[in-house]
Homo-oligomer: A and B are copies of this chain.
């Protein structure tokens, strides 16, 4: 089910469709296409990027539909919103809290869920701060491997 540090997009696709059906939602062609994109979440796209990607095949699709479907999936816990400065990006492949690495040079967003220290953090916070963590958004800014060479 995990391929190349990524959950099988096909599995995620079906899971999202099921969740929508179970909540009484309808499956439209536009939703199908959007969910297919989100299931892979290549590059953690934002609403506009998803809109542009879908516009070719569906010229009549509306940006509002993107936002409404994203909100729906977020409510169902099937999409993670990465809240950046006036620009939300989305991960439908790993809809749970996990760290992200953002390159300040090429602006790409990488998954940082290989990092092992995260689990311990929650526990340390609960012990030292008496704070009960339910979710988190951890963002690290810097230079990705490729850009380190370009910039230096």
**Chain A residues in contact with chain B, CB under 8 A?**
83-86, 101, 103-104, 110, 112, 114-117, 120-122, 124-125, 128-145, 148
Structural contact, A132 and B128, CB atoms closer than 8 A: no
Structural contact, B141 and A125, CB atoms closer than 8 A: no
Complex CA distance for A136 and B120, rounded to whole angstroms: 18
Distance (whole angstroms) from the CB of A83 to the closest CB of chain B: 5
The oligomer's copy count stands at: 2
Question: Which among A104, A114, A124, A142 has the highest number of chain B CB atoms within 10 Å?
Answer: A142
Structural contact, A131 and B125, CB atoms closer than 8 A: no
* Given A138-B136, A139-B137, A143-B134, CB of A124 within 8 Å of CB of B115: yes
A-B complex: 8 closest residue pairs judged by Cβ atoms:
A130-B145, A133-B142, A134-B142, A132-B143, A136-B140, A132-B142, A101-B131, A138-B138
Find chain B residues with CB under 8 A from A125 CB: 101, 112, 115, 140
